[in-house]
Amino acid sequence: MQNNQPVIGRFAPSPTGPLHLGSLVTAVGSYAMARRLGGRWLLRVEDLDLPRVIPGIADDMLRTLESLGFQWDGEVVYQSRRLDAYQAALEQLIRQGIAYPCGCSRAEIALIASAPHKGDGGLVYPGLCRDGLASEKAERAVRVKVYDEMISFQDCVMGRYSQALSASCGDFVIQRADGPFAYHLAVVVDDAASGVNQVVRGADLLSSTPHQIYLQKILGYPAPTYCHLPLVVNPDGTKLSKRDNAVSLAAGPSSAGSGAGLLLAALRFLGQSPPDQLGNAPCREILDWAAANFDCTLVPRRSAPLEPAHK
């Protein structure tokens, strides 16, 4: 890390379904990369979207991680308990004149946006409310202004990534009118508050990273190092079903094995070569090996199925 700062990584699952193979790979990768550098590994439950949260899943995730030998530092952070922090950041952006209320519906944006073009994240917002909310409109969301600049960063797995927010999404939502704060704002505030300087997560979030770097910049937060891991997919390349690929205690045995088999399969998916004798080792020993030997340069960029690791 820059300036010889101690590494602080994190794993941040959403309790909208049981822990699954893809999230386990992220847990293994983020844990190994933080511990490899002698760093701390934090755990955050991203339960901000309460209507989608399944009761009991967060506790099941924690028990599952413990059963697989994971040990995290400090207390578990729950986003649902941090609304005041997100509100404070929102008010700061409003005071700076960077955030503003928006009364546009998705249908209205679709009609007026520079269609048929769509940005990387969907429709490009045409800035209809940027100079003030029309008198006949009710506030539907709060957006943050973006400008015509390229945001680039060096991902430690995927390489150089660049995006112009003005062309890919336009001014983006940081709070919906029904109350929930947007993912981009919440994770930026949480990472800054916890001192997180290494973010390891799935490649499906790669395109959202420029949004977060932009918010970090205008809020005065330092930007972490980013590492986006390849996704676990079905053999035909389609997205995994959370339900059918669960590895939680409540879901029972996984097709990839249990315990040591799951961890070994995750490590091999990430390009690592754990010795065969670890197949009979306790989970804690496998994670210790990963912490001592994980090599980020070996992680593949392409998504792929996860092959079972049999003991």
> Could you tell me the domains of the chain?
2-82+191-208+220-298 (3.40.50.620), 83-184 (3.90.800.10)
Average pLDDT, the chain: 90
133/181 Cα distance (integer angstroms): 20
- H or E element at residue 17: none
List, for the chain, all residue ranges whose pLDDT scores fall below the cut of 70.
1-3, 113-121, 242-244, 249-258, 309-311
pLDDT given at position 115: 46
Total count of residues recorded for the chain: 311
Whether 41 contacts 73, CB under 8 Å: yes
b/e code 14-37 from CB counts within 10 Å (16+ = b): bbebbbbbbbbbbbbbbbbbbbbe
pLDDT given at position 116: 47
Catalytic residue status for 239 = no
Give per-residue pLDDT as tens, 228-285. Answer: 999 999 888 888 776 667 887 655 555 445 688 999 999 999 999 999 999 889 999 9
pTM for the model: 0.92
b/e code 227-248 from CB counts within 10 Å (16+ = b): bbbbbbbeeeeeebebeebbbb
Active-site residue, from 118, 137, 217, 242? 242
pLDDT given at position 307: 83
